[in-house]
Structure 1
């Protein structure tokens, strides 16, 4: 049995081919999408969970060392791990929101896989984290289908998030491959996510066209200029149809982060001043919402930084706002701020003003955001996204017949207008924004494994 597997930054989903059509498989209750989140009592519990409850053993000395450390740490902390202690998807988020201080919570692990400078044991931990998520999704799919899933095509961005270029890409893909193999997949192939989305769109074409796929995902924006249509469909070798690619670490999450930083962090003291007249240090307000930047998150939540925040609170002209920042640190609430920013971004696509309620604080705070301020906040990531569109066009040296926009942020009127300004008069079409990549991966799995 083969599937397409979209291991996404925001959500994960899988699909198989049924009667010649990609068919999604429920992976969280009746839902076909599961948020890319994990919660556990401790970081170390993820590794112990794989060994103790999934019968997945380390495959090298680094893995064995990590497992020994994990078990020893949990024993020292008096934690007797139960299978139900590890949660995924919405259950993970719910658990985190109920008890953030004593919950290890990770959103979008895919964002970290290309990070450079990691020690071997850190790379191993990310592999364990991805493997645990894949085991959960694979088992859910097998329960739904009533048969074993042995083969998969996994989607990957043109470039993973990371500053190492090809080295980041190779590291991230290697982590995914090892994790998938340990999770029980016997054959694993990869396909670029925008190409996969294009394969799904191709199924609707009755004549060959030059298609620009613009895939705006949670963590990356990827563009592919592709020859597509009946003469290409079903071919094993598509190399001559792949005209140009561009991709970068900028996606829907970046829009949310910038809205959180510019519009919500002032409630925590951003832009305020100290009694001396100096402004508060910007990094103290950027790092907690930079949820796709592992070093930033690590730096903010250290004990040393807690001391720095307490000093800022003493020096602040508006100490009430800094008290909220200290609460954010102590309760690990950065994800909650970004989540409210995402809600505001969606709301402002339909209305001029949106009130965001920071109700996860001990004393709820309302923040009014207007559309113009939101647009100003996202100008930087939007500009980067549109530069990728222009890069793909420059590489290809010609204009497409049609633009196919997909991904979680593809319906954004701001982004659609920006693409139309680059390519005036070119038809802009959409499909299943959240499911086109998964469907295309299932189609490619059929080509690879049938």
Structure 2
């Protein structure tokens, strides 16, 4: 007989699933040999067939016809969940879209385990929605309903930074006071927690968790800030039009700079309005680029360029961002200093959330032994510098940035379910 359960990290940018099988915790390959998968879906235009992860991204970037979506997690708890969207002209509910993506991940885990797994710990940010407890509870309930829809019968939740701590705890000798900084695509979450490999099998860890905080800011917000600061001005952002020299509407630019809103711009009304303003624009060369992006529905390519630039600037002083799908030889040189300035407000809010976590825990930064960095946004240089400055006495642990939450959720599923995990005949 075998006992199994799993943990799912449904991330804004990337997702993972880890299976606890007879006491062994393993991340499951979810796309070829990769244990992480971009949280992306591409619905093919001809038949609405869904493709996931890297394949979805590749199909979109190679200009196949269809509907591409990312950052679906950010829709949870918002009015968009009920509103839905059009997918290749057909209305579709976001709960069905998210369910399709998560079912794809579950199918990979079921095939890997050799049976259908019905017990899961779902990761969740400390706050799905900032300063709105009702929307936050709604988001968790929506995710629970989706988990039930795809075949899970035993469903628990765990804060993502706590899960990351569990993943690192197995390698810790002695007892350490740690702060976990989980900076993903959509949220930045913090936990102050006592860790020890002697605590691993404790059924109740509530006394070890000293505080949790979080803010709805992450890598997608860095993409947006960078796009508005360096890219959108080259598409006429904040230019003027008409005899009164009015500023062009800003909403299309802000929506083009946000993964979860790009697709809502591709409407006949929006295209008509931008074409009309084109005739009165005082910067026709740049403003025409906006019209071209809307006409050819290439907003995601713009954001992909912003994301690529953000990643490059973690190691480069300047990056030449190419947007030749708009104009031949259209390249924007973007300096790391400009990026740092663009995201400074977001970095300040993230740091304030970390400080609040320390305050809530009743500890000073100097007594933190270990800083656990997880999530792709911890690669940003200004983030790393800020945390090294804030915790000068702490060791930094940053292994498996993109998979530690999923692995920790797998451990937590073993803690939470134990013998309640599914029991089936061994393969």
Paired residue for 1:422, among 386, 390, 406? 390
Q: d(CA) in 1 for partners of 2:324 and 2:116?
A: 43
Task: Give deviations 1:12-55, integer Å, cap 9, x for gaps.
Answer: 1111246855321111122211111112257xxxxxxxxxxxxx
Structure 2 residue 416 is the aligned partner of structure 1 residue 448: yes
Task: Give deviations 1:91-112, integer Å, cap 9, x for gaps.
Answer: 2222333446x52221011011
Q: d(CA) in 2 for partners of 1:163 and 1:232?
A: 32
Instruction: Spell out the pairing of 1:351-370 with structure 2 (5 A cutoff).
Output: 351-361=316-326, 363-370=328-335
**Structure having greater relative contact order (Cα 8 Å, sep ≥ 6):** 2
The offset of 1:421, in angstroms, is 2.4
TM-score (ref. length: structure 2):
0.89
Change (3 A) 1:120 1:150: same
Paired residue for 2:302, among 337, 354, 376? 337
Greater strand share, structure number: 2
5+ unaligned residues in a row in structure 2: which ranges? Answer: 86-91, 419-427
TM-score (ref. length: structure 1):
0.84
SS of match in other structure, 1:425: coil
Look up the match of 1:405.
Answer: 373
Paired residue for 2:151, among 164, 184, 206? 184
Change (3 A) 1:147 1:19: closer
Look up the match of 1:218.
Answer: 185
Task: Give deviations 1:377-435, integer Å, cap 9, x for gaps.
Answer: 11121111111111101111103222211111223221011122223333332221111
Q: d(CA) in 2 for partners of 1:200 and 1:7?
A: 16
Comparing 4-13 and 272-281, the one that deviates more: 272-281
Look up the match of 2:18.
Answer: 15
Task: Give deviations 1:191-248, integer Å, cap 9, x for gaps.
Answer: 1000000111111111122211111011100001112213422222111111111111
Q: d(CA) in 1 for partners of 2:309 and 2:247?
A: 27
Instruction: Spell out the pairing of 1:204-243 with structure 2 (5 A cutoff).
Output: 204-243=171-210
Structure 2 residue 66 is the aligned partner of structure 1 residue 103: yes
5+ unaligned residues in a row in structure 1: which ranges? Answer: 43-78
Comparing 266-275 and 168-177, the one that deviates more: 266-275
8 A Cα contact 1:28 1:89, kept in partner:
yes
Q: d(CA) in 2 for partners of 1:94 and 1:142?
A: 26
The offset of 1:278, in angstroms, is 3.5
Paired residue for 1:88, among 52, 59, 70? 52
SS of match in other structure, 1:410: helix
SS of match in other structure, 1:341: helix
Paired residue for 1:112, among 53, 75, 79? 75
8 A Cα contact 2:158 2:409, kept in partner:
yes
SS of match in other structure, 1:281: coil
Greater helix share, structure number: 1
8 A Cα contact 1:116 1:163, kept in partner:
no
- How many residues are paired up? 406
Q: RMSD in angstroms over aligned alpha carbons?
A: 2.3
Comparing 109-118 and 210-219, the one that deviates more: 109-118
Q: d(CA) in 2 for partners of 1:335 and 1:435?
A: 25
